[in-house]
Amino acid sequence: MSTSGTIPGVTEAGSSAGTAAVARAPLPVQGVAAAAAGAVLVGAALLGPAVLVVAVVVLSVVLTLGVLALLDAPASLGGFAVVVLATLAAAVVAVVGEGSVAGLAGVVALSLVAALVQQLSRRTRRVAVTEALADTMLAVALVTAAACLSAVVQVPDGGAVAVLALAAAASALLLGRLGDQVVARPELAPGASRGVPGLLLGLLAGAVTGAAVGAVYEVTTAGRGALVGLAVAAVAACADLAVDLAATELPGARRRVRRSSALRPVGVLLPYAVLGPVALVAGRLVLA
């Protein structure tokens, strides 16, 4: 039975490079933190579209700080500025477009131009330019995905769709971590603290939550609600596993503490950012 969130290094090469155990919060604490973030977003969705848009912007800014720190991105201050501007632009596109996300492609394109200009304007010797661009555009992709949540609530019954997706993700993350605490084997990947039983429990929780919320809001049948909840839970579980595996790759370098600390907000917020497109597709196709 797993008793903590400590992730050991899994390869001899990683060990020789200085990879050591990354101390993380116990699995139940990780689950409760993720569920709490989901509850805040659900509450924002219930309060109205404007409140959720603000909540998504805040989520995106905090997530950007965590992602750039986790990646140890070169010229991260300029990259952060580019991503914040992309976050605000994506929010405006979602609101003005009344649920259309066609303009988000333009946001990404302009962000690339802005990132290139930012790199050219660096006063110090320009090194790791490709890495800096890649890190910045990864963060831009995440915040534009999160902006899809803002677009969801701009259409009729969009609030119910957002609540369904967010609640399903929150329940999947919470019960998945509790399942991992009890039975962590077989593990999903070498070195991961996530196990198959926890994954299955999380997927089941997402499906049940989706069915329940869909029935309460009467926006769809229980079967369709369960399918949406299952899809959202799967996306959230993949994002959560990605962060968990990233913990096994952190080197024992001088910026190790900063990067390890960044795992906490990224692990909590990343699943909700990437589920935006799924919620949008569900609202327009499955729940139609």
pLDDT digits over 33-68, tens only? 999 999 999 999 999 899 999 999 999 999 999 898
- What does the pLDDT read at residue 7? 40
What residues does each domain of the chain span? 24-286
pLDDT tier at 257, thresholds 50, 70, 90? low
> Cβ(3)–Cβ(24) under 8 Å?
no
- Enumerate the β-bridge partners of residue 22: 7
> Of 130-144, 162-176, 203-217, 242-256, which range is least confident?
242-256
CA-CA distance, 117 to 113, in Å (whole number)? 6
**C-alpha to C-alpha distances, 154 to 28, 102, 275, nearest whole angstrom:** 35, 14, 17
Q: What is the mean pLDDT of residues 84-106?
A: 90
Report whether pLDDT(26) > 80.
no
Q: What is the mean pLDDT of residues 182-201?
A: 77
What percent of the chain has pLDDT above 70?
A: 83
pLDDT tier at 12, thresholds 50, 70, 90? very low
Residue 93: half-sphere exposure toward Cβ, Cα within 13 Å: 22
pLDDT tier at 255, thresholds 50, 70, 90? low
CA-CA distance, 221 to 79, in Å (whole number)? 44
Q: Which residue has the higher pLDDT, 120 or 94?
A: 94
Tokens of residue 108, six digits:
């990404």
Report whether pLDDT(144) > 60.
yes
Mean pLDDT of the chain: 82
Q: What is the mean pLDDT of residues 101-124?
A: 86
Q: What is the mean pLDDT of residues 73-83?
A: 84
- What does the pLDDT read at residue 185? 77
At 84 the three-state DSSP class reads helix
Q: Which residue has the higher pLDDT, 258 or 96?
A: 96
- What does the pLDDT read at residue 19? 44
Q: What is the mean pLDDT of residues 4-25?
A: 45
What percent of the chain has pLDDT above 90?
A: 35
Q: What is the mean pLDDT of residues 211-226?
A: 82
Ramachandran assignment for 71, one of left (phi > 0), alpha (psi -120 to 50 degrees), beta (any other): alpha
With vertex at residue 144, the alpha carbon angle to CA 264 and CA 36, rounded to the nearest 5 degrees, is 35
- What does the pLDDT read at residue 240? 85
**C-alpha to C-alpha distances, 46 to 204, 221, 224, nearest whole angstrom:** 24, 21, 21
User: Over the range 187-203, which residues count as b (16 or more CB within 10 Å of their CB) and which as e?
Assistant: bbeebbbbbebbbebbb
- What does the pLDDT read at residue 206? 92
Q: What is the mean pLDDT of residues 12-38?
A: 66
SS3 percent helix, strand, coil of the chain, rounded to 5, is 75, 0, 25
Q: Which residue has the higher pLDDT, 237 or 8?
A: 237
Report whether pLDDT(258) > 80.
no
